[in-house]
Structure 1
């Protein structure tokens, strides 16, 4: 049976998303099951091989502001989600008309979920001044005496991040 997955939204998690509820875009409401004059609907959210029952609720009056509420925190705790992790929600539509929702979680590569302005400023300060990362330098001839013969060689020299490199390593970089 053919299935079709459509991305509904992608969100970088905030403090509130982790500790209370996941605020979701209003524009996806038509992709959710009908609320039928109710302010809550249950959805089945699949992550890896586990199905999570999550309540999606909207306000009773005014701006609807949809959120994943009951069941969401359990999902967060079980999957060790942190501020800065990214969730992507898909609607998976089956050929028979049924559907479910799938979530993918992406964690930052560095494992550092919270980067503050101090960290960013410190990293900028540590960068080398406006020097090119790789530059070729003029090579000076070297006279070598081997078995009464003078061999003149010009080893390539280059500079990488402010450090002179010569010989084979530089040849590999320059080619």
Structure 2
């Protein structure tokens, strides 16, 4: 798997939208005609597919953000500030399958060491 990005979540990431690194924009497929947004599908550790709208802001500071679908993921996973998300792209994926993976890790303090552990997948009645 190829690491796309990882990030420690901020309060804004938890409450509004997820800011993602500008350098990753060239990796994602733009399928809309306006070329400022696309829908990214990712699978979590439980093979549940999530869809995030990635919007590139207008103007000088064109930082991309995950908006639509992101907060649903936050609530379903019970994410908190300083949790870590990691997005990968799998190699050799069959056409039509979702090549992107998302993992959520939570910092656990154990005596003298800090560890990140996976947050277990959550499934509700509607498939997310």
TM-score under structure 2 normalisation?
0.74
- Tell me the equivalent position of 1:25: 21
- Tell me the equivalent position of 2:65: 67
Contact 2:86 2:104 survives alignment (8 Å): yes
Q: For 1:38, which of 31, 35, 38 is the aligned residue?
A: 35
Structure 1 unpaired stretches of 5+: 112-175
Give a deviation string over 1:108-146, Cα, whole Å, max 9, x none: 1139xxxxxxxxxxxxxxxxxxxxxxxxxxxxxxxxxxx
Higher helix share: 1
Structure 2 unpaired stretches of 5+: 111-128
> Paired residues, what number?
107
Q: For 2:9, which of 7, 13, 20 is the aligned residue?
A: 13
Residue 105 (structure 2) pairs with residue 106 (structure 1): yes
* In structure 2, C-alpha distance between the alignment counterparts of 1:80 and 1:108, rounded to whole Å: 14
- Tell me the equivalent position of 1:79: 77
Contact 2:54 2:64 survives alignment (8 Å): yes
* In structure 2, C-alpha distance between the alignment counterparts of 1:109 and 1:66, rounded to whole Å: 29
TM-score under structure 1 normalisation?
0.56
Higher relative contact order (CA 8 A, sep 6+): 2
Give the CA RMSD over aligned residues: 2.0
Runs of 4+ in 1 over 4 A off after TM superposition: 95-99
- Tell me the equivalent position of 2:115: none
Contact 1:41 1:56 survives alignment (8 Å): yes
* In structure 2, C-alpha distance between the alignment counterparts of 1:95 and 1:24, rounded to whole Å: 24
Report deviation, 1:67. 0.6
What are the within-5 Å matches in structure 2 for residues 121-132 of structure 1?
none
